[in-house]
Amino acid sequence: MKKLFKILLNLIPRPILIRLSYWARPILVFFLKGNTFTDPIDGKSFRSFLDYGYVTQRKNVLSPSTLSLERHRLLWLYLKNETNFFSAPLKVLHFAPEQAFYKRFRNLKKLDYTTTDLNSPLADVKADICALPFDDNTYDVILCNHVLEHIPDDTKAMQELYRIMKPKGWGIFQIPQDLNRETTYEDSSITDKKERTKIFGQYDHVRIYGKDYFDKLRSVGFKVEEVDYTSTFSEIEIKRYALAKGEIIPLVRK
């Protein structure tokens, strides 16, 4: 099953995978029931999570019930425990909405919640992140996670995110990041999908971010807090929730 899952990741376009996942999840939940891992998003527990990865498969990281990965569960815990996201009347823009969050955020009655993406079937507004159809100073909160590594002109995208965020607004802009790398690596001449997967970790990524990512966000005007939220959890909790120890949450403010 795990080998088949890796093949599907590389062969089937993401919008189709999203649709297929709706019928696959109940089957996975039934067969993987147990008590080793817990998904904090829905509270369900399993004897194992699924492995996931385009190059090297990470063991026990994909929740069968919500299809959340390490970053999704970390973000959920942060939003729930450290912000007013679930209780305040906020105007929210969510880029490339993840299945783990989409219905849950949509059902929060106090949120004025809009989703956007170029290709996702879950997007309310089809839009290019480098030319957004939204007015200046519109959103209290912007969630833009694992998007910028796909965008050739990420500086322009960051400028657009800054433009549409309200003064005193905030956002979380997670990216796949190599914290052992001081500077971001990109090479626009690499267009072969297999080569991109090998170098950047995924066939549709155009760079791998280093520690300088935070300063790039600052350069367009954001105030950035580098939140090591896993440091607030015990080793037992990190293992049970299958979090990536040391992953940094980029919390931005305008």
Q: Where are the domains of the chain?
A: 2-69, 71-253
Lowest mean pLDDT among 12-16, 155-159, 161-165, 241-245: 12-16
Is-contact 166 139, C-beta < 8 A?
yes
Task: Please report which confidence band the pLDDT of residue 193 belongs to, taking 50, 70 and 90 as the band edges.
Answer: confident
- Topology annotation, domain 71-253: Rossmann fold (3.40.50)
**What is the CB neighbour count within 10 angstroms for residue 34?**
9
What pLDDT shows up at residue 1? Answer: 47
Is-contact 251 172, C-beta < 8 A?
yes
Q: What is the pTM of this model?
A: 0.88
CA 74 – CA 229 distance, rounded (Å): 8
User: If you search the block for the tokens 């147990």, which residue do you land on?
Assistant: 34
Beta-carbon contacts of residue 183 (< 8 Å; ≥ 6 apart): 210, 211, 212
Instruction: Give the model confidence (pLDDT) of 159-186 as tens digits.
Output: 999 999 999 999 999 999 999 999 999 9
Instruction: Give the model confidence (pLDDT) of 87-140 as tens digits.
Output: 999 999 999 999 999 999 999 999 999 999 998 989 999 999 999 999 999 999
Q: Compute the mean pLDDT over every residue in the chain, rounded to the nearest whole number.
A: 90
